[in-house]
């Protein structure tokens, strides 16, 4: 199994707050890997760091053998200009073009745009109009509810439909790795099940590697092969998801048992 994403010893700060402390994680090609943790533990910060939205103060991130993010203090940045740069590594757009798509927390859909226009935004890097049209049709087949609502303003969709649209928008760039930030947030259990079923199909049928962040630990661990547990910006556990489901600490702290 080849390694697709490699996070090596990264730290991220917000002013004096150290949001991530020497985090290392590895995601193999084709897997579903999850990260669970309480509110404020640093999960969203980690996803933002992967797509270049938050600079690293330590460590580096490699995707498919290419270093996409490195810390400000990394070797080679010793010059005055190097130190003044706010971040090092590829820009967010370039990281997206390498094949990583983020579905952000709270979905962040363009509420005044139609479903179709939102999907177009997801394909901003694709020049070929025929290819964009083909991918949109594939999304409407995969999420029939979006096909039925394609001309409707996104604000009129239910929370679950908006989440599906946010996922479809990310898939429009045909990513190799999709990062999902709490796809189940604020949704009813049945809707969450639908969304997790889709995530599984995206992984199995389209061979997209999935990195899933969730507070709903049970759903996330059941859906994934491997899991990481984060507390206060640190990884405190890493194991096969099936083992984490049986782990006493995980059961007490995250599964309410």
| Binds 39: which of Mg ion, ligand ATP, none (CB < 5-8 Å by kind) | ligand ATP
| Inter-residue contact 11 to 201 (CB < 8 Å) | no
Q: How big is the chain, counted in residues? A: 257
14/81 with CB nearer ligand ATP:
14
| Inter-residue contact 194 to 2 (CB < 8 Å) | no
Tokens encoding 229: 């547990």
Which residue's CB comes closest to Mg ion? 44
Q: Is 99 in a helix, a strand, or coil?
A: coil
Candidates 5, 33, 44, 220; binder of Mg ion (CB under 5 A) is 44
Give dist(CA 257, CA 254) in Å, integer: 8
DSSP per residue, 50-79: HTTSS--SEEEEEETTEEEEE-TTSTT--S
- Nearest approach, Cβ of 255 to ligand ATP (angstroms)? 16
- Nearest approach, Cβ of 92 to Mg ion (angstroms)? 18
> Residues interacting with ligand ATP, by CB under 6 A?
14, 17, 19, 37, 39-45, 105, 215
| Binds 33: which of Mg ion, ligand ATP, none (CB < 5-8 Å by kind) | none
Candidates 8, 67, 105, 120; binder of Mg ion (CB under 5 A) is 105
Sites of contact with Mg ion (CB under 5 A) = 43-44, 105
């Amino acid at each position: 199994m080849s390694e697709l994403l490699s996070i090596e010893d990264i730290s991220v700060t917000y002013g004096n707050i150290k949001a991530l402390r020497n985090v290392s994680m590895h995601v193999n090609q084709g897997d579903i890997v999850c990260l669970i943790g309480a509110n404020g533990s640093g999960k969203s910060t980690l996803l933002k760091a992967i797509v270049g939205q938050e600079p690293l103060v330590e460590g580096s991130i490699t995707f498919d053998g290419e270093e996409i993010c490195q810390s400000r203090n990394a070797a080679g940045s010793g010059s005055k200009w190097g130190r003044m740069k706010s971040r090092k590594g590829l820009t967010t757009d370039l990281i997206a073009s390498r094949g990583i798509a983020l579905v952000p927390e709270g979905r962040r859909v363009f509420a005044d745009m139609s479903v179709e226009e939102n999907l177009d935004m997801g394909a901003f890097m694709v020049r070929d109009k025929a290819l964009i049209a083909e991918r949109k049709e594939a999304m409407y087949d995969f999420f029939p509810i979006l096909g039925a609502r394609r001309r409707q303003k996104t604000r009129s969709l239910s929370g679950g439909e908006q989440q599906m649209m946010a996922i479809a928008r990310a898939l429009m760039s045909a990513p190799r790795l999709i990062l999902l930030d709490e796809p189940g947030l604020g949704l009813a259990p049945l809707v969450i099940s639908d969304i997790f079923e889709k995530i599984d199909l995206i992984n199995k049928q389209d061979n997209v590697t999935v990195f899933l962040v969730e507070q709903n630990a049970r759903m996330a661990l059941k859906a994934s092969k491997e899991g990481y547990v984060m507390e206060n910006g640190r990884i405190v556990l890493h194991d096969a998801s099936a083992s984490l489901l049986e782990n006493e600490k995980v059961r007490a702290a995250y599964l309410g048992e």
